[in-house]
Every structure is written in C-alpha cells, then in structure tokens.
Homo-oligomer: A and B are copies of this chain.
Amino acid sequence: MVDDTDRTGLAVIGAGYWGPNLVRNAQATPGLRLEYLCDLDVGRARSVLGGYSTVRATGSLDEVLADPAVGAVAVATPAATHLKVALTALEAGKHVLVEKPLAANLAEGRRLVEAAEDRGLVLMLDHTYCYTPAVKHLRELVRDGGIGDVQYLDSVRINLGLVQRDVDVLWDLAPHDLSVFAAILPDDLVPVEVAAHGSDPIGAGRACVAHLTVRLSNGAMAHIHVNWLSPTKIRTMVVGGSAKTVVWDDLNPTQRLSVYDRGVVTTQREQTIVSYRLGDMVAPALVEQEALRGVMAEFAASIAEGRRPLTDGRSGLRVLAILEAATESLAAGGRFVAVPAEVKEYA
C-alpha cells in the first residue's frame, strides 16, 4: 500500500463526457489520491460518483483550490473555459492536467505555459493516444530511425461523431493526430506550413468534413482527414519511411501496428531508377493498456519527480499553433499558411 503522504491529492474539474473517465483512472493510479469531483452542477458530479463513493462532490472550484490536501487538478471543462480554470489553479499553486486542446487559442495557451513555468508547476495535456502501447512503439520506430527518413504521414479519423457547438471538426478531432505527430516525429522535423479545406454540407455552421495538409521541414507532406458525418469509423495512421512503413489501425485490437518492410527503392545513376522491395510484414506484440491510465501515471510521476511530462504544455502549444494556421487557411480559401517558427521550441 502506498502511504498517503506520498500521494498527490487530486481534484477532477468537470463531470461531463470526459470527467467520469478521469475519475475512474485517477482512482486506479497509485500515485494519486482523488479528493473531489467538481462541477458547477453538483448534482451531476454526485451522479457521476454514484452511491458507493467516498470521493467528495462539490460545485465550488474555490473550495477545491483552497484545500491544501489538493496538490493537482485535472481540467475537463469546455475549451473556452480552460484559460480561466487552469490559470486560477496554477495561481493557487496546483499542478494542472488539461483535456485537449490546451486553450481556445494560441495566445491563451501561451499564458498558461508561462504561468506554469514561472511557478515550476507541471502543466500537462491529456493527449491520450500518446500513451497507448501502439504510439509508444511507433515513437521508437520513427525516432530511432528504424523506418528510415520520414516520407509521408497520412491520418484518417472519421466517424458518425458528435457535431460540436463551439468548435469545427478540425479543432475537435485533429488535436489527436497532431499530438501523435508531435510525439513520434524527431525533434528537428517540425511543421512549416498548413493548408486546410473544409465543408459543412449539413448547415451546422462550421466545417464537419475537413482535410488538413501539413508541410514538414524536410518537405514531406502530412495529411489529416477528419469527418463527423461518416457512417463508418476509421482511425488509421500511416507513417511512410524510406526503409519501412508503419500502419497504425487503432480499431484493430489484435493488430494495431503493422510494420511493412516494403517500399520503393530509387537508385540514382544517369537517371532515377525506381524498383520495389517486397519484404515481410511484422505485427509487433503489444500489451493492451488503457491509455488514460498511462496519462494519470505520467502526471503523478512528473509531479513526484519535478520534471516535464511527455505531453507538457508546449506540446499543447504546438497543436494550437497548427490549428490556428489551419483556421486561417480555411478562411483564406485553402492557401498555405505558415506555422509560427516558435513551434521548433515546442518539441
């Protein structure tokens, strides 16, 4: 049994769609001690906790932040409120885990990162997919050079999804893909410019289908297709390399990763000669684990060890920088828009 004094007291803020998952996983994390579930609608918080819990429900964020037993908060409120909730928490000296996206825009995100860094507090994004066994393995394959040079990336995330009221499909879904790109790509391979096309065929008032093209610093093209209107569900990412190509199919629990020793080989003599390599495919054995469990463990560990978590605030800024450029491109009819050069520092 972990001694209570070694555990960080945690409050979960927001009892909506995502909050119950945070509650469940926080309770299963040895380094955390869940103290509160806080929601403006305290009845909702009570309902989420159910009739068998010793965790306190509250409607008052002030009460939570004033409690010295609370060392950290996990924020699962709407993105528009992240600045206010997270900043207040940081100013109260609490470590903060924020649901993606970090904030409603890049400027607000920067304020949060600065506030955390000024105080030496952990600010972490729950970029959940980065903590799956599949992405961890993919990260090793890509960063350790096993796949050779990155030639292209292609991510499809489509489903009959909840049409959001406040954000378009890019802001809703693409953070997943962008955060994985950030996690797996080498530090010196960064997004340079972005073009986005979207459409709203149902009159929802915002893009429901969108295509995002990201030009990387080595010239490679990364493409993301997000769609709220698809009757079929696809969550597939392809990372094409000069040596190997990896396909990540998140909906295939028995074979999430497929590593193909296959590709096009070019030989430069007088002219380019193209040939093909048809090798085996290997599906590495991966031990299944709930991703949010890994998020919670990393949050607890980074607090305990006083270090930056894998998906720290800066990784959130990287995502925001690209999303802002994408929104600008959408408004400008799809032309390429530069990503701020500062993203290099967000690796």
Number of copies: 4
Q: Is the CB of A203 within 8 A of B272?
A: yes
Q: Is the CB of B199 within 8 A of A274?
A: no
Q: Is the CB of A231 within 8 A of B245?
A: yes
- Size of interface on A: residues with Cβ below 8 Å to B: 72
Instruction: Give which listed residue, B28, B51, B195, contacts A334 with CB less than 8 A.
Output: B195
Q: Is the CB of B282 within 8 A of A282?
A: yes
Q: Is the CB of B202 within 8 A of A151?
A: yes
Q: Is the CB of B201 within 8 A of A151?
A: yes
- Which of A65-73, A260-268, A294-302 contacts the other chain? A260-268
Q: Is the interface of A mostly helix, strand, loop or mixed?
A: strand
Look across to chain B and name the residue whose beta carbon is closest to the beta carbon of A195.
B334
Instruction: Give which listed residue, B238, B255, B274, contacts A202 with CB less than 8 A.
Output: B274
Report if A228 contacts B (CB, 8 A).
yes
Least CB distance, A19 to chain B, in whole angstroms: 15
Q: Is the CB of B285 within 8 A of A280?
A: yes
A195 to B287, CA, bound (A): 38
Report if A276 contacts B (CB, 8 A).
yes
Report if A283 contacts B (CB, 8 A).
yes
A82 to B247, CA, bound (A): 39
Q: Is the CB of B231 within 8 A of A219?
A: no
Least CB distance, A290 to chain B, in whole angstroms: 14
Name A residues whose Cβ lies closer than 8 Å to a Cβ of B: 27-28, 33-34, 50-55, 149, 151-152, 154, 160, 163, 195, 197-199, 201-205, 208-209, 211, 213, 219-221, 223, 225, 227-233, 238, 240, 242, 245, 247, 254-255, 258, 260-264, 266, 268, 272, 274, 276, 278-285, 287, 333-336
What are the 5 A-B residue pairs with the smallest beta carbon separation, nearest first?
A: A151-B201, A231-B260, A199-B221, A281-B283, A231-B262
